[in-house]
Structure 1
Amino acid sequence: MHANPHDAGAWSTLGVLLRRSGKLNVAIACHNRALNCAPENANIWTNLGNALTEAGRLADAVAAQEEALRREPDNPRVAFNAIVGLRQAGRFAEALALIDRAGGATADPALRWERALIRLQIGDYVHGFDDYGARRALPTYNGRSATLPAWDGGVLDGRSVFLTSEQGLGDALLMARYLPLVKALGGRVLYEGHADLRRVLSGLPIDEYRGWGGPVDGDVEASQMDLPGLLGTTLASIPPPVRLTVPEEARRKALGILGPREPGILRVGIVWSGRVTFADNARRATGLAPFLRFAEIPGVQLYSLQKGPPEAELAALGPARQLVVPLGPELEDFADTAAMVEQLDLVIMTDSSVAHLAGALGTPVWNLVQYVPYWIYGFTGAWTPWYPTMRLFRQGMDLDWRPVFDAAAGALRAEVRRRTGH
């Protein structure tokens, strides 16, 4: 930069590199410096918009992308970035219109994937699942490559269908409701699943539960994430959660750890982070600190169901660690977690696989969700048709978690009064 401080391209390139390394505020400053030198450059405007989106400045991001579009309305990269910015800002109708204007959505996997996410978010499942298969053509797709003929969702007539888990543990729990429906079509169900879920899914009509990554056999195959589309799911025909298996040995373990109930005390489980390697986890997760305000409420005892690296935050409580009982070290798989959840009155958490577990068990769960959350939660309202016992507390467009925790704390005080009379 010392060679030519007015080199707009160099400033914007530096901004792109800084954004990729997570230094968003500096990246935004570099892009703005580039625009001081070349205000008509659409590529700089769209790069700025990308950085603003990642920084959570959604309205500013959309404005930057609109500036880029105004200068180069036929630039495919600019159009795509604008579509992503509009979707993440919750401006779905505008994003769909821009996809239509961009053309080629049926041929361009990235555009079709964006359209799938939008359609599913707004509850248009019929068309959304039509586009959902476009994910397989994306460079980021990490599912299995198909080796058997694709199952079309029809009657199996004794054939074997190989169903593979795809995406996360929560997705597998979400889609487990479809396994009895697949079995009812008259075939053998070969299910490739996560080891952590083997015990809780053991009561389902699965002919063989396979560990992840083994050989593929059978007559036809499908991903679990294709099942809603293959079986014709609409917003009005979502199957109820499946009954999970909680082994008696897991229940005995949970009772031994939690002990007898204390009168007048509400047992509240908490989870503040999902899998840290998940690309969107930084948006959907918080730290432990905001959850500690629930410990201020008389009549509440917190229990941590958190697993993974974020568990280390509990140690930072020091002498105050009794505010939160750590259950994570006792949880060897999801059967152990399910047994603990059964003994709790309520789970409050940011979105991750435990939300699906609690929802499937029928335990009340308050899910604190990001502004544009996972598509099953829609975009408005306090409830989701996928889990009748789940209540949603939503971020606003400013992505500020404080109002979300304010609302949850107020609701928890009311819940304590309702349950204990205090």
Structure 2
Amino acid sequence: MYGDLQNPESAVDAYSFAVSLYGKARFDAALALLEPLLFARTTDVQVFNLAAACCLSMDRPHDAETHWRRAIALKPDYCDAHSNLGVVLKEQGRLDEAEACYRNALSISSNHAGAYVNLGRLYAQLGRPDDAEAAYLRALELQPGDGDFLVNLGVLYQAQMRMPEAEAAYRSATEANPHDVKAHFNLGVVLKMQHRFAEAEASYRRTLALQPDYFEVKINLAHLLLNVGRLKEGWALFETRYDPRWPARKIAPPPVDFPMWRGEPLAGKSLLVWPEQGHGDSLQFCRYLPILKARGLAKLSIVCSPALQRLFETIEGVDQCIAPDDDHIVPQHDYVCLTMSLPHRLGTTTFASIPGTTPYLQVPPAYAAKWKGRLPEGEPRVGLVWAGDPRPDQPEINAVDRRRSLDARAYLPLLGAPGVTFISLQMGALTQPQISTLPPELRPFDPMHDVRDFADTAAIIDQLDLVITVDTSIAHLAGALNTPTWILSRYDGCWRWLHDRDDTPWYPRTRLFRQTQPGEWGEVIERVRTALEGWSAHERTPA
């Protein structure tokens, strides 16, 4: 089984071979060599330590914990074992026990840099950034210029939006280890977040030169290219998101047995469009469906969430809307295509080639009748959304949501605008009730308790003069309905809104109000308030 190895003649040889195998990420082979040694009458604690590390790398945390505890029982002052045991306990969510282990390690050796780094990671997870920073800085005092420690410090600063400090940490990490792909990648991320797109692109490409199969970098580079308007390159690279060679890919291929459409002629064929990511993406890219039908499709079907089904049934050329929870099996088609592959497959290479005709969604007549006369009288009527969907089970998305969302009270300067009737469009178990924190006389009318799907929301928006929203699916819904829309965009705004303009080729009646400093919404709200006060009747006239 291990023919590339010599037969170890002693426990020392076996341990040395196991160390070599561990370094090559052959954890199962390393553990196989160690297992006979684990039950010897005299076992070196380093054998337990390495066996535990192998188990942890093989996702066997309970075995790892057992081996580290045996090492500590054999040598109570074994500092590394205490620190490493803390790592496995932290991964199991046993945070208090993990902290105790790190403290034990430091009580044995106050100069154990690794224990300080582990403690810093724990504090970062616990939302104690000052304590985390102190721990990382102490580790760097003990091991100056350690690239891994610097990356951890950079991640902490990045999470706090301390971009210049994060950049400095990552640059130091790349100097310490020019081949550290994580440092180069993270440097590209913070450069992009500072709107230094050319430098960010260079960092991403340097990362890919070091590790060509680093798919997460490819996705980030695709977003950057789209952000700066290089649509042809961006859409092509964005196809990486469902590459089967990427084990951690976030977009799985559609669970059907017919082939992906890659641009083949469609005349007389049938095509199924499969959703991905959030509702906003589906709302933005469903504009391509009539173009597909115009290519001669005999049948065009779309899978969508039940919340979108009634609305998408109004799209020109769609023959069938299928909700994922339908009891019947998805019927056979000639091809399937992911929603966000449509711009690439249909040749959206320039801003002029974006299908920009609006409205491309219509309120179903039954929903229009349902909501007729249910909103308060008064003009103008302005819809408000102040927060997105937090998704706490998805840390990356949740982090973005925290940067894009506000508390309802942030809109108080707007709510005092004279002569405006405000309508809440806010959904969410945590965010919709924030209306009750507003002074009663300034609270917007809230019809959202009676909203069941996006067709309901569309019927409300269709009666409004303007929608003011953070970057959520409502921005796309309002834009698709051709309702004037003002989007409050975070500093590191989404790639689809580009980076150097306050309008968008995706929605002709949409305007962007961007943060000029990370996390600073007050100045944005003030600009929106000023614009609202000067909003003329002419601007409220449909285009």
Question: Per the shorter chain, which TM-score range?
Answer: over 0.9
Equivalent pairs counted in the alignment come to: 416
- 1:270-301 Cα shifts (integer Å, max 9, x gaps): 10111121432111111111112111111122
Structure 2 length normalisation: TM-score? 0.72
* Superposed counterparts of 1:332-347, under 5 Å: 332-347=452-467
CA distance in 1, matches of 2:403, 2:142: 33
- In the TM superposition, residue 145 of structure 1 has moved relative to its aligned partner by 4.3
Aligned amino acid, residue 322 of structure 2: R
1:155 equivalent in structure 2: 265
Matched-pair contact (CA < 8 Å) for 2:467–2:484 = yes
Pair 1:99-2:179 in alignment: no
Distance 1:387 1:14 in 2: 48
Distance 2:369 2:404 in 1: 33
For 1:131 and 1:106, locate their aligned partners in 2 and report how far apart those are by CA, in whole Å: 13
CA-CA distance at 1:398 after TM superposition: 3.0
Distance 1:7 1:62, change over 3 A: same
SS in 2 for 1:282: helix
Residues 1:411 and 2:531 are matched in the alignment: yes
Amino acid at match of 1:366: W
Deviation per CA, 1:63-114, whole angstroms, max 9, x where unpaired?
2111111111111222222222222222221121122223067533122112
Which runs of structure 2 are paired with 1:15-414 in the superposition (5 Å)? 15-102=120-207, 103=209, 107-136=213-242, 137=246, 139=248, 141-145=250-254, 147-187=257-297, 188-204=299-315, 205-212=317-324, 215-216=329-330, 217-234=332-349, 235-240=351-356, 241=358, 243-259=360-376, 261-262=377-378, 265-277=379-391, 278-279=397-398, 280-309=400-429, 310-317=431-438, 320=440, 323-414=443-534
Distance 1:384 1:29 in 2: 43
| Secondary structure at the counterpart of residue 239 of structure 1 | coil
CA radius of gyration, larger in = 2
1:89 is matched by which residue type in structure 2? Q
Cα distance between partner residues in 2 of 1:307 and 1:56: 27
Residues 181 and 211, structure 2, Cα contact 8 Å, conserved in 1:
no
**Whole-Å Cα distance in 2 between the matches of residues 105 and 114 of structure 1?**
14
* Counterpart amino acid of residue 122 in structure 1: V
Cα distance in 2 for partners of 1:367, 1:129 equals 24
Structure-1 separation of matches of 2:293 and 2:531:
41
Deviation at 1:20, TM superposition (A): 3.6
For the Cα contact (< 8 Å) 2:123–2:131, is it kept in 1? yes
Q: 2: CA distance between counterparts of 1:349 and 1:138?
A: 36
Gap runs ≥5 in structure 2: 1-102, 392-396
Report the residue type matching 1:55 in the other structure. Answer: Q
**Change in CA separation of 1:387 and 1:239 when aligned onto 2, cut-off 3 Å:** same
Counterpart secondary structure, 2:534:
helix
Amino acid aligned to 1:410: T
- Aligned match of 2:72: none
Contact 2:492 2:518 in 1 (8 A): no
Identity of aligned pairs, percent? 33
Alignment RMSD, CA only? 2.2
Greater relative contact order, per chain length (Cα 8 Å cut-off, separation 6+): 1
Output the CA distance in 2 between the equivalents of 1:105 and 1:74: 9
CA contact (8 A) 1:86 1:92 kept: yes
CA shift at 1:361, angstroms? Answer: 0.9
CA offset at residue 29 of structure 1?
3.3
Distance 2:369 2:388 in 1: 27
Of Structure 1 and Structure 2, the greater strand share is in 1
Relative to 1, partners in 2 of residues 1:42 and 1:347: Cα closer, same or farther, differing over 3 Å?
Answer: same
TM-score for the superposition, normalised by structure 1: 0.92
Whether contact under 8 Å (1:46, 1:82) holds in the other structure is no
Change in Cα spacing, 1:114 to 1:391, as seen in structure 2 (3 Å) is same
**Displacement, 1:321?**
6.2
| 1:234-287 C-alpha deviation (Å, 9 max, x unpaired) | 22311114521212332233233214x33xx42111101111214321111111
CA distance in 1 between partners of 2:484 and 2:150 (Å): 45
| Counterpart-to-counterpart distance in 1, 2:122 and 2:295 | 52
Aligned partners of 1:255, 1:105: CA distance in 2, in Å?
Answer: 58
Give yes or no for contact 2:268–2:296 (8 Å, CA) kept in 1.
yes
